[in-house]
Structure 1
Amino acid sequence: MKKILFVLPLLLLFSCKEEFLDRGSLTQLAEGNFWQTEKDAQLGLNGVYEVLQARVMYGGNLNGTAGIPQHDSFADNTFNNYKFEGPGNFVEARVDPATSFFNEFWTANYRGIARANNAIANIERMPKSAISDANRTALLGQARFLRGLFYMNLAIHYEDVPLILAVQSLQEAYVPKNANKEVSDQIIADLKFAGEALPATYPANQFGYATKGAALSLLARFQLYQKNYPEVVALTAQVLTLGYSLNASYDQLFTEAGEKSREVVFSVRFSQDQSDNGETFSATFTGIPKVNVQPMRNLVNEYYATDGLPITRSPLYRAATPKLNRDPRLAASIYFRDDIFLLDLNRPFTGNTATTFGQKKYIRNAPSPSGIGVGSPGGQDFYVIRYADVLLMRAEALVETNQLTEVYPLVNQVRTRVRMPKVEDVEGSNLSQAALRDIVRHERRVELAMEGLRFFDVKRWGEVEAAYKRATDDRVAAYRPVYRGRMSEVFPIPQTEIDANKNLVQNPVWK
């Protein structure tokens, strides 16, 4: 499969002074003869996309700083056993502003912002003889989509952060932080621009670039976080007209064979044969599946029986055979004891994790035809947004605006894809707003588990403390979640940035 590999040629590489506020983080690209043609502009944009592949971003990790694919460990879905990677220590309150995770995640997002700003500045000033107005607008749409995505990561996790919208000189790099409202307004402006500027599709050989659907869906996600529910309803209504659909097989979707499904709205693309490919979220060890992301028992118990009832109420559930007669998404997402997790070695999972469960979703279970081992970088794309998420975002916004009629068919689309019963057939019709809210939140959890969205959900719902309690109640050996109020819901500004920039002050939560 040919993939767009967002790798920057040597001409475009930033200098080693790329750390934000580390005296050169926002240095300009070497201009020379570059930014002269439309091809140059697209190559420059590839350098912005390339930041998404970093392991602290969407590349994930197997033994290092955690990436976004591991962010479910910031809540109650998974346990980060290799606590030095970030999430495990965060939940156990053994971090401070000097913890390296916060700096690496901050730096990667600002690296992307710096590259996006550079692309925007250069594309805007390219002469009309070099690029048509329509193509200029579309390329600017890609750059602003990416800038919006990077700032969204910062606004959700750090909240008040510096808002930088232009290429900076060294002298201009000492900037204060902006209020979250200012940053949020800019995210919305960038994504609105992208939604109007980007095409709905690209030719097959350009698969992977941001589209109109990606921009509208990401904007809907951010508006959901802002609790601007009418906007979510309006935005998702547009996405529903763009030709997306659910993949017939939930299992197949999270493999390389599912990467071009019409369910994928936006993905970060990887190729197993690329030497500097950063994808390790699908990697595992040969003796234990994905040891640093261990599904929690409270997540496993959230999956209903096949009659659509919770396991506490279903006559189909048997504790002795807990995987049988369950929502098929459970077996597609989680390894149970004695499941074969390495097909080439016929190796069974012995339950040798702290939680006794293993991650299955996204995880490779055999070497590739090219001989790359299961613990090496792979070629699986990571889905930042997929259509099932769009349907459930719309359902949530409709619940919160008390428009309940359409919630049923939206949830039913997601359920019946895996042959689970419809809402009306189990919970009934004419349900209350509160009852439908619980249904939608349940569906988000089991549909999107281990896709990096759980912290986003529980923080938005005001349920971080409840999530910590669920994790505590699982009684995982040597795991002691400690809820510290807002300190458990917002990242500190990295101490290295505070030390380097006298105009930057720490989030008061972390003082």
Structure 2
Amino acid sequence: MKKILYLLPLLLLFSCKEDFLDRGSLTQLAEGNFWQNEKDAQLGINGIYDVLQSRVLYSGNLNGSAGIPQHDSFADNTFNNYKFEGPGNFVEARVDPSTSFFNEFWTANYRGIARANNAITNIERIPKEAISADVKAQLLGQARFLRALFYMNLAVHFEEVPLILQVQSLQEAYVPKNTNKEVSDQIIADLKFAGESLPTTYPAAQYGYATKGAALSLLARFQLYLKNYQEVVALTSQVLTLGYSLNSSYEQLFTEAGEKSKEVVFAVRFLQDQSDNGETFSATFTGIPKVNVQPLRNLVNDYYATDGLPITRSPLYKAATPKLNRDPRLAASVYFKDDIFLTDLNRPFTGNTATTFGLKKYIRNSPSTSGVGVGSPGGQDFYVIRYADVLLMRAEALIETNQLPDVYSLVNQVRARVKMPKVEDVEGSGLSQAALRDIVRHERRVELAFEGLRFFDVKRWGEVEAAYKRATDDRVAAYRPVYRGRMSEVFPIPQSEIDANKSLAQHPDWK
């Protein structure tokens, strides 16, 4: 019950959805009798957060379009066994602009943008006697933070998309796409506004809303994508002063018990049976852990031994006992054959996946009450940004600006949590820029695996082709990655959008 109280402000809108939220477009929302006061404004903001729980965004899916928690399958971390969900077919080059995944991902993000635009327009109009200036600024900051998050999803995956910043009538909806720079500039502007408007913390009853730290951290992530490294250094300097810290247990962090950790900078909140998301991304199946997201061997092999050396060089590694003497993040993230994955049933994982490994990180370790493995409990939150990511973003930016001395302490903080050796004790001190770059890229992979960031990383590093080769070399049965140049690095504009809007032009790499 305590958790319900924490989430109640965020979930108020879910029970009201049938009354007004999903009655057609939010842009046509009862303009004459809504948006009159602070309460209305808060409900409107909650409606934007609701979109984050869409299956194709942060809820994840089974037997439908994949969500962001499954996006590691667009690269070399996981195999999407249910290929029709999106990532598997994309990597195997069996998609075209009419593939439903692209349309659903596009539509969900624009649904969030429409709700944000409506909130921004109408909150601005609420008279000052009905809402304080501070509350108005805070709510506008949340709306612009969320709009930036939706546009960031579009900018990274589709690159050039229509930039819509106002409530549109049907007659105004047929717009051309904007350049990636124009979209990027707006994302930066929205996040700067949010960073100046949002509080550092909220009262406990407002658990789940975007903060100043969330805005600064998301802006740092986007600036990293744009390779504006000095901006990343400046932004993360501010985040480091806001009271975040690493959770003491890496494994516990990715359970419901870890949701209130000071490591969580921004999360999409879930509470089973309080919304219509159905299966949440953390579902466990009774016969196999998360059947449609299977860790790939090349990732498993990338976790070092406990002496800090790769398994190809460490005397501690034995092929007969591959999970022993390994970086503890491996055992916290991946099931090996014979690991118990349903403790209530004492059920061992039989290795019955195509990759022989099972997903453990984030996944519930209890059976379903529905008898099919996908039911309650399912209240695990999904972390969009956490403090370890901020530390590693800062380390990467320092490397790329050739400010090398401070990189060691940042990586060492992340390693210390799982008792892995310091950089200086294994790789040495006085390392070159290239050597430190490899260290941080490795650290990002093993620290952030299965958090939906791998495609984001390899794309900005120019390593998508290399990622496809690693996935291919794993020789997973019936999985044949096909690298097609830019077509493997950018999504096409959905064909349904091209057909409906004659002002839209397809991405040149997909024509």
Superposition TM-score, scaled by structure 1 size: 0.96
Deviations 1:105-135 (A, max 9, x none): 0000000000000000010000001011111
- Does the CA-based 8 Å contact 2:27-2:115 persist in structure 1? no
Q: Distance in 2 between matches of 1:205 and 1:371?
A: 31
Q: Distance in 2 between matches of 1:250 and 1:457?
A: 21
Equivalent runs, 1:58-457 vs 2, <5 Å:
58-278=58-278, 280-367=280-367, 374-376=373-375, 378-457=378-457
Rate the CA distance shift 1:187–1:372 in 2: closer, same or farther, 3 A: farther
Give the deviation of 1:374 after TM superposition.
Answer: 4.1
Q: Distance in 2 between matches of 1:275 and 1:168?
A: 28
Give the deviation of 1:284 after TM superposition.
Answer: 2.2
Give the deviation of 1:186 after TM superposition.
Answer: 0.1
- Does the CA-based 8 Å contact 1:398-1:407 persist in structure 2? yes
Give the deviation of 1:29 after TM superposition.
Answer: 1.6
The AA in structure 2 aligned to 1:397 is A
Equivalenced residue count is 502
- Does the CA-based 8 Å contact 2:52-2:58 persist in structure 1? yes
Identity percentage of aligned residues: 84
- Does the CA-based 8 Å contact 1:42-1:139 persist in structure 2? yes
| 2:508 aligned with 1:508 | yes
Partner of 1:12: 20
Partner of 1:29: 29
Partner of 1:21: none
For structure 1, which segment, 154-163 or 377-386, has the greater mean C-alpha deviation from structure 2 after superposition? 377-386
SS at match of 2:22: coil
SS at match of 2:267: strand
| 2:498 aligned with 1:471 | no
- Does the CA-based 8 Å contact 2:123-2:136 persist in structure 1? yes
- Does the CA-based 8 Å contact 1:279-1:380 persist in structure 2? no
Q: Distance in 1 between matches of 2:104 and 2:273?
A: 26
Q: Distance in 1 between matches of 2:143 and 2:52?
A: 13
Q: Distance in 2 between matches of 1:396 and 1:28?
A: 44
Q: Distance in 2 between matches of 1:252 and 1:132?
A: 40
- Does the CA-based 8 Å contact 1:225-1:460 persist in structure 2? yes
Give the deviation of 1:11 after TM superposition.
Answer: 3.9
Q: Distance in 2 between matches of 1:307 and 1:384?
A: 31
Rate the CA distance shift 1:238–1:373 in 2: closer, same or farther, 3 A: farther
Q: Distance in 2 between matches of 1:504 and 1:15?
A: 27
SS at match of 1:142: helix
- Does the CA-based 8 Å contact 1:220-1:235 persist in structure 2? yes
- Does the CA-based 8 Å contact 1:113-1:147 persist in structure 2? yes
Q: What is the root-mean-square deviation in Å for CA atoms of aligned residues?
A: 1.3
Q: Distance in 1 between matches of 2:385 and 2:30?
A: 33
For structure 1, which segment, 440-449 or 374-383, has the greater mean C-alpha deviation from structure 2 after superposition? 374-383
- Does the CA-based 8 Å contact 2:162-2:175 persist in structure 1? yes
Give the deviation of 1:491 after TM superposition.
Answer: 0.2
Q: Distance in 1 between matches of 2:44 and 2:455?
A: 32
| 2:483 aligned with 1:483 | yes
Partner of 1:23: none
Equivalent runs, 1:35-50 vs 2, <5 Å:
35-50=35-50
Q: Distance in 2 between matches of 1:122 and 1:136?
A: 11
Q: Distance in 1 between matches of 2:426 and 2:111?
A: 49
- Does the CA-based 8 Å contact 1:12-1:44 persist in structure 2? no
SS at match of 2:385: strand
Q: Distance in 2 between matches of 1:490 and 1:134?
A: 40
Deviations 1:232-274 (A, max 9, x none): 0000000000000000000100000000000000000010231
Give the deviation of 1:278 after TM superposition.
Answer: 4.5
For structure 1, which segment, 32-41 or 110-119, has the greater mean C-alpha deviation from structure 2 after superposition? 32-41
SS at match of 1:354: coil
The AA in structure 2 aligned to 1:342 is L
- Does the CA-based 8 Å contact 1:329-1:418 persist in structure 2? yes
- Does the CA-based 8 Å contact 1:28-1:167 persist in structure 2? no
SS at match of 2:28: coil
- Does the CA-based 8 Å contact 1:69-1:450 persist in structure 2? yes
SS at match of 1:117: helix
Superposition TM-score, scaled by structure 2 size: 0.96
Q: Distance in 2 between matches of 1:133 and 1:43?
A: 18
SS at match of 1:247: coil
- Does the CA-based 8 Å contact 1:364-1:374 persist in structure 2? no
- Does the CA-based 8 Å contact 2:306-2:420 persist in structure 1? yes
- Does the CA-based 8 Å contact 2:27-2:118 persist in structure 1? no
- Does the CA-based 8 Å contact 1:283-1:374 persist in structure 2? yes
Name stretches of at least 5 consecutive residues in structure 1 with no aligned partner.
Answer: 19-25
Q: Distance in 1 between matches of 2:383 and 2:27?
A: 31
Give the deviation of 1:190 after TM superposition.
Answer: 0.2
Rate the CA distance shift 1:371–1:258 in 2: closer, same or farther, 3 A: farther
Give the deviation of 1:379 after TM superposition.
Answer: 0.4
Q: Distance in 1 between matches of 2:284 and 2:56?
A: 17
Name stretches of at least 5 consecutive residues in structure 2 with no aligned partner.
Answer: none
The AA in structure 2 aligned to 1:383 is Y
